[in-house]
Structure 1
Amino acid sequence: MVPVLSQPFSSSTSSLVTPNVGSVPMQLSSSSVHSLADFFLTASTSRLAENNVEVVREEGLQHARIKLDARQYKKLPFRERLLEILRKLQIRSWANPQIVPENIVVTKVSGALTNAVFFVSCSSAPSTQTLLLRVYGPSSGSLISRPRELHTLHILSSRYKIGPRVYGTFDNGRIEEYFDSVTLTSTDIRDPQISRWIGARMAELHSVDVQAVDGSSSNLENSGMEFVANVKSWLGAAEEVLQLPGISDATRQELDLPRFKNEWNRYVAWVLSRPRTFGTRRVFAHNDAQYGNILRLKDGSEGLDEHRQIIVVDFEYAAPNAAAFDIANHFIEWTADYHCPTPHLLNASRYPTAEERHNFYASYIRYSAMLAEDPGLDDSSLEEMITELDKDVLILGAASHGGWAIWGIVQAREDVEAGVTEPEFDYIGYAKGRMAAFRKDFQSFGL
């Protein structure tokens, strides 16, 4: 997804998207911070958030029946309630009775409609581990399933050591692991070595047991391409946004959702009619591997594997998908710069070259073979798989464009309803760009 300038991603923390999952982009710092859909909360939207956010719990995680008001984070009562939560969740280093609310340091990382994110530390007890505090916001209910996101995070971190550990939940948020890290930049992901590390990490994510993480049947209508369900579930909300008085007739005509639905259905039918390949196998995918969601640990790698210094965060949109979709979406994110004057516009000239894609594919395929304990991967087989995978990635890039185009329309609702003329992130402009890219790919396929 797309990160917001104020919170887009820094040190901690597509072509196919999954149903009721979530994603957006930019830079933050530590374990997970949202990205695209993040605008600072006003008092009124904050109040709405406090009242309407659902209580989300997960089996195997401690839960504290306490709410936090993110607007009050600078005040002592907030820290008192926060300390009560940390002790109820039995986070070891915070059990020290010498820790008092007055010495708790709460640093705001981002404040958005989806989440307010903070780093939590204690000045009087240096040995106390820094934590990431996430207070849920009011929006994105039509885009993100919080129960599913929490389940995904818990299983991936506890069983596969992927992503930030979730220490526990409270009535309108959760406590996560903090990574002493830096968020990658749009330049970093182009570095050949870092790109290989990302490929290896993606291969690890794609190797997990889909059903263990997702819990859904593998006998799905779309043979693993749940982006179809995602787009279908978002279209109704997108149509509502385009009917709002704040949307011009020219914008409605340019996006032309009736035309898109026809094109999308034809595209999906064509994709699903193609032979199944290594790239279209059903895996558990991140679906939003943009640079703001990828961290690099400051203290180097874990153990001997260099690629493990790369940490992927923000699993709002994670779900089963075609493997090539996750890669395609990542490559399209190479064309984004969420920290420039026009963060909503993609620059197609920055799409990875054939050589850069080959570099990524080789790492991804080698690690996939190693994790599958497949000894039969020789150089000839590798090159054949790279050629085949590249075809799938180029085809599924259109799915990323189409899915995020609809997502952008849905995300624009808050600004359109509020009559914002100069939004922090131009979601409608973003949707137009992604829609144009989808239609360009669609036409190139001869459909």
Structure 2
Amino acid sequence: MGGFSRRILPCIQANSASLLFGHFGPKLKLPSRVISGTFFDKNCRIAYYKIASMAEMLLKRKPPKNEVVMDEEKMEVHDRAYKLCKEYLGGKWSELKKNEFQLSVLGGGLTNKLFICQIPKEIRDSNSKVPHTILLRLYGLIIQDFVAQIQESVVFSILSERGVGPHLYAVFPGGRLEEYLPCQTLMTKDLHDQALSRHIAKQMAIYHKLVMPVKKEPTCIMSRLQLYYETAVHMKFDDHNNTKLLNLLREYDLENELKYIKKLVADTDSPVVFCHNDVQEGNLLHMDNTMNPVQMIDFEYSGYNYRGFDIGNHFCEWAYDYSYSEWPFYLYKDEDYPTKEQQINFIQSYIREYFSTNSSHSQSDEKWQVDFMIKEANRFALLSHFFWAMWSVVQAKMSDISFGYMEYAHSRMDHYFKQKAEIE
């Protein structure tokens, strides 16, 4: 799903604000969709870090992008960030005076926990290997799910070391310091560019070839879908409009549709690989690099999953534009769903990259043929629609973000049934 009020910021490499049930943020990537945080188990205990709460309060007034944080109200955040950079980065940072330290809010997004830390230009050391600009990420909610916290940190660290993601400079309780990449996220229309689409496919294939020290069973999406479904069917709203939309949604036989989805997944022989699970335009950076102009970011949802979900979910994102500035803050264009020719262009590039360095599979295997992968991706597109519909119902209750969550849930279900009719 995509994000809301998408804007191109210097580099939106983010996910973050751990909204309850927002491990897969509403397609609210930073700045457009909030994807983020760590998955919240129903019984998890949630604790707020004082600094994160302060950061969230500061951002409610929606400052302009990169606004320098210096007024008295924000000094606590400023001082905390200054101390972190001084302690973890060393070099010129350790010599920096507090009044010289520059902290800017990476504003306009939905996570409210991203900051750009900088050494003033006039005192930077051009010969230093220590960066003069860094991205500070503060988690909004810290849960007592240490397994999830450890896994996320391990994955990010390994991806950083392998050059797949931004460099990691420090991990500390409540956040981390990351490489700041001066770049732009893609827009929905960019996904239709054939050359860019091939580069995205290449990056996805590189990601899918990774071997990571995490749980290998493909349960990360299905287990969350079950939780979202169980929460959604028992949801109650205070306002009339959401109640009306929820009642209309319940007129679908959601229980049987969930059973249908589970059977569809079981009957589709999709390889299990290490998936990004959220390859949409807000998580794709356009780099000034002719060899590799696209880089994937936001690894919060990464985990072993079915290959078809990563590809099918990406195809769904082609049709959703979250840059729309009026209610419900998204547009869906059925004609923008990739045509067969566009899907072939993507999948052929994926296959070429996958087999360029991987000999563990036979390219003659049916599962690695273009026709099979097109069918596989479009079957898993149904899972994408159903998953984000259930997620959106939960967000309609839990989130205070201005977005038409219930309208979005209906949109995803409408197109779920449309694609379901096409594959049967």
TM-score interval (norm. to shorter): 0.7 to 0.9
CA shift for structure 1 position 318: 1.8
2:34 equivalent in structure 1: 37
Distance 2:26 2:9 in 1: 10
CA shift for structure 1 position 20: 8.6
1:157 matched to 2:160? The reply is: yes
For 1:52-201, what aligned pairs fall within 5 Å after superposition? 52-53=47-48, 69-70=54-55, 71=57, 73-74=69-70, 75-89=74-88, 91-97=89-95, 99-110=96-107, 114-123=111-120, 124-126=122-124, 127=126, 128-138=131-141, 146-158=149-161, 160-201=162-203
Asked if the contact 1:93/1:129 (under 8 Å) is kept, the reply is no
1:205 matched to 2:183? The reply is: no
Q: Would the alpha carbon gap of residues 9 and 81 (structure 1) be closer, same or farther in structure 2, given more than 3 Å must change?
A: closer
Q: Would the alpha carbon gap of residues 93 and 371 (structure 1) be closer, same or farther in structure 2, given more than 3 Å must change?
A: farther
Query: Matched residues, percent identical?
Result: 25
For 1:218-229, what aligned pairs fall within 5 Å after superposition? 218=216, 220=217, 224=218, 226-229=220-223
CA shift for structure 1 position 257: 7.8
Asked if the contact 1:234/1:410 (under 8 Å) is kept, the reply is yes
Asked if the contact 1:345/1:433 (under 8 Å) is kept, the reply is no
CA shift for structure 1 position 194: 0.9
Count of aligned positions = 384
- The amino acid across from 1:430 in the alignment is Y
What secondary structure does 1:398 align onto? helix
Distance 2:297 2:413 in 1: 27
Distance 1:384 1:283 in 2: 13
Q: Which moved more, 1:321-330 or 1:261-270?
A: 261-270
1:336 equivalent in structure 2: 320
Asked if the contact 1:202/1:364 (under 8 Å) is kept, the reply is yes
- The amino acid across from 2:266 in the alignment is L
CA shift for structure 1 position 161: 1.8
- The amino acid across from 1:125 in the alignment is I
Q: Would the alpha carbon gap of residues 202 and 107 (structure 1) be closer, same or farther in structure 2, given more than 3 Å must change?
A: same
Q: Deviations 1:56-86 (Å, cap 9, x if unpaired)?
A: xxxxxxxxxx878314643444333212111
Asked if the contact 2:237/2:243 (under 8 Å) is kept, the reply is no
CA shift for structure 1 position 313: 0.9
CA shift for structure 1 position 324: 1.6
State the superposition RMSD in angstroms. 3.4
Q: Which runs of 5+ in 1 are unaligned?
A: 14-18, 28-32, 39-50, 56-65
Asked if the contact 2:11/2:180 (under 8 Å) is kept, the reply is no
Distance 1:139 1:254 in 2: 35
Distance 2:226 2:210 in 1: 26
- The amino acid across from 1:53 in the alignment is Y
CA shift for structure 1 position 360: 0.9
TM-score by length of 2: 0.80
Q: Would the alpha carbon gap of residues 166 and 410 (structure 1) be closer, same or farther in structure 2, given more than 3 Å must change?
A: farther
Distance 1:426 1:145 in 2: 29
Q: Which runs of 5+ in 2 are unaligned?
A: 14-20, 36-45, 59-68
Distance 2:10 2:167 in 1: 18
Q: State which of 276, 287, 301 in structure 1 corresponds to 2:277.
A: 287
Asked if the contact 2:6/2:32 (under 8 Å) is kept, the reply is no
1:44 equivalent in structure 2: none
What secondary structure does 1:4 align onto? coil
1:22 equivalent in structure 2: 24
CA shift for structure 1 position 427: 1.2
Distance 1:54 1:209 in 2: 33
Q: Would the alpha carbon gap of residues 336 and 166 (structure 1) be closer, same or farther in structure 2, given more than 3 Å must change?
A: same
CA shift for structure 1 position 22: 2.8
1:437 equivalent in structure 2: 415
- The amino acid across from 2:339 in the alignment is T
1:411 matched to 2:395? The reply is: yes
CA shift for structure 1 position 190: 1.4
- Which protein has greater RCO, CA pairs closer than 8 Å, 6+ apart? 1
Distance 1:181 1:262 in 2: 44
Q: Would the alpha carbon gap of residues 182 and 383 (structure 1) be closer, same or farther in structure 2, given more than 3 Å must change?
A: same
Distance 1:37 1:192 in 2: 27
Asked if the contact 1:115/1:136 (under 8 Å) is kept, the reply is no
Distance 1:180 1:133 in 2: 14
- The amino acid across from 1:156 in the alignment is L
CA shift for structure 1 position 54: 6.7
Q: Which moved more, 1:252-261 or 1:396-405?
A: 252-261
